[in-house]
């Protein structure tokens, strides 16, 4: 499983297709600098990434990392047709499982201009509706080989449609990575109920897992506990209200689930280095007019 922190989303680089006759091998390569997505429509590829073997029969895809050695385990035993697609990301990515350390409070942006989210891709898996999968790859290949004025934009859109299909078709593997699914479910629960007092008992009943295991999964996936996660989410909601409304600070504290005004001020200052009032003044004060020219 690959974990991409977005934005930016992974971006398409190039695509091609090939047909191997029996006895032909996929070329051995080392640290090629891009992800290599292979989609087999006929036959079978027998590959390895480092010491991990990857067998791709017809109807399966596989993703090879940009930073490891790739080689053939055995040559093709039958005529094998496949599409290959190279993509990359300028954002953070890592394989799962991965222990992520939380960002120190002093390094957190005061008002993040981007809403970050996680995008997961299995290393390999089946492609449901083989015809539709091949149709998407063939359409992207056609755009790549016949460039037009806006084809680069269309290529990226088609590429993201392919990634979404591969993710949806492989939900079984995502489900098997239970800590990822449970962490995402817990995060969604916390975002929905951020105005309510955090109850580990209620969350455990809602998600049907022990509270300690939920906390472990969130720590492993997001690098923070449920309390840290919901506190940061409440802070972000409070920032928006402080900037975009004239609501009293006490009312904002109550509306964002902090319960008490002193606790809100303490948490806000710890996370941002400013009191709520100071933060509001920083973004609400009038700027002096530009000098006349």
Asked if residue 153 and residue 259 are part of one domain, the reply reads: no
Mean pLDDT over 29-50 rounds to 93
Asked if residue 183 and residue 166 are part of one domain, the reply reads: no
Asked if residue 231 and residue 162 are part of one domain, the reply reads: no
Beta strands 11-20 and 80-88 are antiparallel
- Model confidence at 3, pLDDT cuts 50, 70, 90, reads confident
Indicate if the pLDDT at residue 283 is higher than 90: no
Indicate if the pLDDT at residue 287 is higher than 70: no
- Of 173, 201, 235, which residue constitutes the final position of a domain? 173
Asked if residue 192 and residue 117 are part of one domain, the reply reads: no
- Model confidence at 108, pLDDT cuts 50, 70, 90, reads very low
Asked if residue 274 and residue 144 are part of one domain, the reply reads: no
Indicate if the pLDDT at residue 71 is higher than 70: yes
Q: Are 44 and 55 in contact (CB under 8 A)?
A: yes
Asked if residue 150 and residue 237 are part of one domain, the reply reads: no
Indicate if the pLDDT at residue 140 is higher than 90: yes
Asked if residue 87 and residue 6 are part of one domain, the reply reads: yes
Write down the mean pLDDT value for the chain: 86
Q: Measure the CA angle with vertex 216, ends 253 and 176; round to 5°.
A: 120
Report the number of distinct structural domains present in the chain: 2
Q: What is the pLDDT of residue 290?
A: 55
Asked if residue 23 and residue 161 are part of one domain, the reply reads: yes
- Of 140, 173, 206, which residue constitutes the final position of a domain? 173
Q: What is the pLDDT of residue 18?
A: 96
Q: Residue 262 belongs to what domain range? A: 178-293
Q: What is the pLDDT of residue 174?
A: 47
Q: Which residue has the tokens 């009943």?
A: 205
pTM as predicted: 0.66
- Model confidence at 75, pLDDT cuts 50, 70, 90, reads very high
Asked if residue 127 and residue 24 are part of one domain, the reply reads: yes
CATH number, domain of 61, equals 2.60.120.280
- Model confidence at 176, pLDDT cuts 50, 70, 90, reads very low
Mean pLDDT over 247-270 rounds to 93
Asked if residue 89 and residue 33 are part of one domain, the reply reads: yes
Q: Which of 5, 8, 11, 1 is nearest to 157 (CA)?
A: 11
Indicate if the pLDDT at residue 21 is higher than 90: yes
CB atoms within 10 A of CB 42: 14
Indicate if the pLDDT at residue 288 is higher than 90: no
Q: What is the pLDDT of residue 97?
A: 61
Indicate if the pLDDT at residue 167 is higher than 90: no
Give the rounded percent of residues in the chain with a pLDDT score beyond 70. 87
3-state DSSP of 86-99: EEECCCCEEECCCC
pLDDT digits (tens, 9 = 90+) for 183-217: 889 999 999 999 999 999 999 999 999 999 999 98
Asked if residue 143 and residue 11 are part of one domain, the reply reads: yes
CATH number, domain of 197, equals 1.10.10.60
Asked if residue 164 and residue 58 are part of one domain, the reply reads: yes
- Of 114, 143, 173, which residue constitutes the final position of a domain? 173
Q: What is the pLDDT of residue 58?
A: 95
How many Cα atoms within 13 Å fall on the side-chain side of residue 143? 21
Q: What is the pLDDT of residue 107?
A: 42
């Amino acid at each position: 499983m690959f974990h991409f922190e977005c934005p930016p989303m992974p971006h398409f680089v190039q695509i091609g297709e090939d047909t191997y006759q029996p006895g032909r091998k996929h070329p051995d390569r080392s640290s090629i600098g891009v992800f290599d997505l292979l989609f087999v429509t006929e036959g079978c590829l027998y590959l390895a990434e480092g010491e991990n073997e990857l067998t791709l029969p017809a109807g399966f895809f596989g993703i090879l990392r940009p930073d490891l050695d790739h080689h053939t385990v055995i040559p093709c035993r039958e005529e094998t047709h496949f599409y290959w697609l190279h993509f990359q990301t300028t954002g953070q990515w890592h394989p799962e499982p991965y222990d992520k350390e939380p960002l120190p409070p002093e390094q957190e942006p005061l008002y993040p201009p981007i809403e970050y989210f996680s995008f997961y891709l299995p290393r390999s898996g089946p492609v449901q509706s083989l015809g539709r999968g091949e149709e998407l790859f063939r359409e992207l290949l056609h755009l790549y080989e016949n460039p037009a004025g806006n084809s680069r934009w269309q290529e990226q859109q088609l590429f993201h449609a392919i990634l979404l299909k591969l993710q949806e078709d492989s939900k079984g593997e995502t489900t098997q990575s239970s800590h990822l699914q449970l962490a995402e479910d817990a995060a969604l629960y916390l975002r929905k109920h951020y105005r309510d007092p955090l109850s580990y008992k209620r969350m455990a009943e809602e998600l049907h897992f022990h509270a300690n295991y939920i906390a472990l999964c969130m720590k492993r996936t997001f690098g923070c506990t449920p309390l840290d996660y919901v506190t940061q989410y409440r802070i972000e909601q409070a920032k928006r209200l402080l900037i975009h409304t004239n609501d009293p600070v006490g009312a904002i504290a109550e509306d964002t689930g902090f319960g008490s005004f002193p606790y809100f001020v303490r948490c806000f200052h710890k996370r941002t280095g400013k009191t709520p009032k100071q933060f509001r003044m920083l973004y609400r004060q009038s700027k002096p007019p530009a000098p006349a020219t």
